[in-house]
Amino acid sequence: MAVLVARKIRKTYGKRTLKQEVIKGIDLEVHEGEFVGIMGPSGSGKTTLLNVLCSIDFPTEGIVEINGKPLKKMKERDLAKFRREHLGFIFQEYNLLDTLTVKENILLPLSISKVPKKVAEKRLAMLVEYLGIADILNKYPNEISGGQKQRTSAARALIAEPSIVFADEPTGALDSKAATALLANLENINKERGATIMMVTHDPVAASFCSRVLFLKDGQIYTELYKGDKTRQAFFQDILNTQKVLGGDGYDIN
């Protein structure tokens, strides 16, 4: 089942002679339970595409549907409710509230949606075990590491059991150890709980945790790779080879 469908997506900035078309007619689908990566050289339109797909921005042309609902046709109030109930977000910046504990930050979306306490606590217990943060629930953001902050952010994105989670360079501010731990956590949640995740990354190591990777070039989908039954190391090499064709840096996988 397709959770997200995008058809003929174009995004243009500026007017008249200053127009710049960043996204140039992209079609794509993301199916339930997929972990999809988006890669491409700087300026290829990765973050712009993600923003358009998750309703942070809207396409100049084309349609984006999530669970069969066209986002652009929703009224602002309805869209805010839809985001809260069906979409999760993980960004490079953790966006945690310093005055709330880790537990309170994670539970915030459910508090706003008035989910019963018993249901919220059950979801919390399961998520923090998956993400390895059960021992820091009563700490505040300034008392925990960057990796723990990002795992807290991931738990907050997943606590409402969204239809799809959008992640924009979620490992960008983390060291390699913390990044690998977060990605392994997301991969496990994807495989074991069927969470649907779409992630922008410049890093082939991060992308190797995905089940499918889309490569953008000049605002269009250049190609895509499927992991299938390959090992993460073999998939990493495929990603690295494709990235070299497009232009990019070299990496080593652990």
Phi-psi sector, 87: left (phi>0), alpha (psi -120 to 50), beta: beta
Return the CATH number at 137: 3.40.50.300
Specify if 133 maps to a domain.
yes
Asked if pLDDT for residue 189 goes beyond 50, the answer is yes
Name the nearest CA neighbour of 153 among 197, 103, 85, 95. Answer: 95
Specify if 16 maps to a domain.
no
Asked if pLDDT for residue 129 goes beyond 80, the answer is yes
pLDDT in tens, 79-108: 999 998 999 999 888 889 999 999 999 999
Cα separation, 121 vs 51, in Å, equals 31
pLDDT in tens, 2-57: 999 999 999 999 887 788 999 999 999 999 999 999 999 988 999 999 999 999 99
Domain that holds residue 157: 34-57+80-246
Q: How many structural domains does the chain have?
A: 1
Classify 92 as helix, strand or coil.
coil
Do residues 94 and 149 make contact, with C-beta atoms less than 8 angstroms apart?
Answer: yes
Specify if 43 maps to a domain.
yes
